[in-house]
């Protein structure tokens, strides 16, 4: 922290006071993080929960190595997708029996969109946000082409007006698909409001929870969301490539037609019949053999949330992101924070727009502050509240100021981008 010594002292005192105030929600000891690193990329790959290594070792050595194929019954591997689904469900406001884990968010989106087309026969429009994550847009256009929908791109802020305009024009909207939190800006959309607007025109609300699950209360059941998907490797800390999930509320399960019908979603899988008959409940959304080692890692990872109310995580997260923004604004002249200042509209990250964003991210990583870059010009600082402190927010902002002051971000080493940014 070379720069701005006069400003640092009061901010350091404030950080210490806030850390003391929020001591009860500091869950750092439930995670294994390298020392000397301020990890602000938990919105891309969450940190390693302390329970995971031993749990994986046990599953590999005992359930796989010793008990072999019997573990499908004895260790209940078969029901892991719905068992772990219930654990995820608790964290996103779903009653039991409505979430299934496995496959990728991309595939889960395909299932949700195709199922929506069956549930709204004759409706011809899919409304989605142009700022959605690329995979969501690819899937929207792909499914639209398959089922004959027209895709209307709308900013979620304009959704009620757009839906009314479409309805007034005589078209029926099948579904509205959007992300709860914008992956680039960290903007949090009003879920109950968007769902209500969607239902007013008779459409289904499909939500991507990748950037909200585990970071803030989602309230799926309370909001009346129709279908939801999400990944588990971000704020749920499931590990690289950990399986995604799909939420199908009980009221829609009978009508849910799985467009990827596989034997694990069959009513009687070991009857080995040649005709598909869907299982009862959310299990019908299963596809093929689940990634058991990844599921075991995720199940262990979720114990980091044992006894934790996501509402408390949210309070800590808001305080951290509020303070990170304040530190950036105090220490970095002209910083352009694109994440909303308003608590109600902010997810769990602070994003800064800068034409040199890539170089800034790399230079920060060089100083042990790990964030990421999102094209074209965004520095993303993800804030996974359970394992971060206010003092680390200040460390990150001071490093940001120092990078800019020293011009480190302009170093020619950063002129060429790696595959993963």
- CB of residue 234 vs ligand PLP: minimum separation in angstroms? 7
Question: Does residue 129 interact with ligand PLP by CB under 6 A?
Answer: no
Q: Quick check: is 31 catalytic? A: no
Nearer to ligand PLP, 41 or 408 (CB): 41
Whether 169 and 189 have beta carbons less than 8 Å apart is answered as: no
Stretch that binds ligand PLP, among 3-11, 25-33, 189-197, 203-211 (CB under 6 A): 203-211
Q: Which of 63, 129, 136, 152 binds ligand PLP (CB under 6 A)?
A: 136
Q: Which of 80, 91, 147, 210 binds ligand PLP (CB under 6 A)?
A: 210
Q: Looking at beta carbons, which pairs linking 352-358 to residues 24 or more positions away fall under 8 Å?
A: 352/328, 352/378, 352/379, 352/381, 352/400, 353/377, 353/378, 353/379, 354/379, 356/409, 356/410, 358/414, 358/417, 358/421
Q: Quick check: is 233 catalytic? A: yes
Nearer to ligand PLP, 31 or 133 (CB): 133
Nearer to ligand PLP, 27 or 139 (CB): 139
Q: Which positions from 344 through 373 interact with ligand PLP, judged by CB under 6 A? A: none
Q: How far apart are CA 155 and CA 132, in angstroms?
A: 10
# of chain residues touching ligand PLP (CB under 6 A): 13
Binding mask 63-102 for ligand PLP (x = CB under 6 A): ----------------------------------------
Question: Does residue 104 interact with ligand PLP by CB under 6 A?
Answer: yes
Nearest-10 Cα torsion for 110, 113, 116, 121: -100
CA distances 2 to 243, 334, 397, 402, 405, Å, are: 42, 19, 12, 7, 10
- Per 3-state DSSP, the chain is made up of helix, strand and coil in percentages (nearest 5) of 50, 15, 40
CA angle 344/218/397 to nearest 5° reads 50
Q: Quick check: is 133 catalytic? A: yes
Whether 48 and 239 have beta carbons less than 8 Å apart is answered as: yes
Whether 175 and 113 have beta carbons less than 8 Å apart is answered as: yes
DSSP secondary structure code for residue 189 in this structure: P
Stretch that binds ligand PLP, among 116-124, 131-139, 259-267, 410-418 (CB under 6 A): 131-139
Q: Comparing C-alpha atoms, which of 296, 299, 215, 293 is closest to residue 46?
A: 215
- 208, 226, 354, 372: which is the annotated catalytic residue? 208
Stretch that binds ligand PLP, among 132-140, 161-169, 299-307, 351-359 (CB under 6 A): 132-140
> 5-21 and 310-331 helices cross at what angle (nearest 10)?
170
Q: Quick check: is 226 catalytic? A: no
Question: Does residue 208 interact with ligand PLP by CB under 6 A?
Answer: yes
Question: Does residue 242 interact with ligand PLP by CB under 6 A?
Answer: no
CA 118 to chain centre: 26
Question: Does residue 105 interact with ligand PLP by CB under 6 A?
Answer: yes
- CB of residue 124 vs ligand PLP: minimum separation in angstroms? 25
From the number of C-beta atoms within 10 Å of its C-beta (0-12, 13-18, 19+), residue 407 rates as: exposed
Q: Quick check: is 367 catalytic? A: no
Nearer to ligand PLP, 3 or 104 (CB): 104
Q: How far apart are CA 82 and CA 101, in angstroms?
A: 6
Q: Which of 3, 25, 135, 303 binds ligand PLP (CB under 6 A)?
A: 135
Stretch that binds ligand PLP, among 133-141, 159-167, 316-324, 406-414 (CB under 6 A): 133-141
Active-site residues, by number, are 133, 208, 233-234, 380
């Amino acid at each position: 922290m070379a720069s701005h010594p006069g400003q640092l002292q009061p901010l350091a005192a404030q950080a210490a006071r806030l850390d003391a105030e929020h001591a009860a929600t500091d869950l750092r000891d439930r995670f294994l993080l390298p020392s000397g690193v301020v990890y602000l990329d938990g919105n891309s790959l969450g940190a390693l929960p302390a329970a995971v290594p031993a749990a994986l070792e046990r599953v590999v050595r005992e359930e796989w190595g010793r008990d072999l194929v019997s573990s499908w019954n004895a260790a209940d591997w078969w029901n892991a997708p719905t068992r772990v689904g219930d654990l995820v469900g608790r964290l996103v406001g779903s009653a039991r029996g409505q979430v299934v884990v496995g496959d990728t968010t991309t595939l889960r989106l395909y299932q949700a969109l195709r199922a929506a087309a069956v549930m709204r026969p004759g409706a011809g429009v899919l409304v989605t946000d142009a700022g959605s994550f690329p995979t969501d847009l690819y899937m929207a256009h792909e499914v639209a082409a398959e089922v004959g929908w027209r895709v209307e791109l709308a900013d979620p802020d304009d959704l009620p007006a757009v839906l009314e305009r479409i309805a007034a024009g005589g078209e029926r909207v099948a579904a509205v698909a959007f992300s709860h939190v914008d992956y680039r800006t960290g903007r949090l959309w009003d879920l109950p409001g968007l769902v209500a607007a969607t239902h007013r025109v008779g459409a289904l609300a499909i939500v991507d929870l990748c950037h909200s699950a585990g970071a803030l209360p989602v309230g799926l059941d309370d909001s009346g969301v129709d279908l939801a998907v999400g990944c588990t490797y971000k704020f749920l800390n499931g590990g690289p490539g950990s399986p995604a999930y799909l939420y199908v509320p009980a009221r829609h399960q009978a009508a849910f037609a799985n467009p990827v019908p596989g034997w694990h979603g069959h009513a009687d899988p070991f009857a080995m019949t040649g005709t598909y008959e869907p299982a009862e409940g959310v299990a019908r959304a299963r596809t093929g053999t689940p990634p058991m080692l990844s599921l075991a890692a995720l199940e262990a990872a979720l114990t980091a949330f044992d006894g934790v109310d996501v509402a408390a995580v949210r309070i800590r997260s808001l305080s951290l992101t509020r303070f990170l923004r304040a530190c950036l604004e105090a220490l970095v002249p002209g910083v352009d924070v694109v994440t909303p200042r308003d608590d109600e509209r902010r997810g769990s990250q602070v994003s800064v727009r800068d034409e040199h964003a890539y170089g800034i991210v790399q230079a920060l990583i060089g100083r042990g502050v790990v964030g990421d870059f999102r094209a074209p010009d965004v520095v993303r600082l993800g804030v996974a509240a359970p394992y971060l402190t206010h003092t680390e927010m200040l460390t990150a902002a001071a490093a940001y100021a120092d990078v800019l002051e020293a011009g480190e971000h302009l170093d020619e080493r950063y002129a060429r981008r790696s595959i993963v940014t």
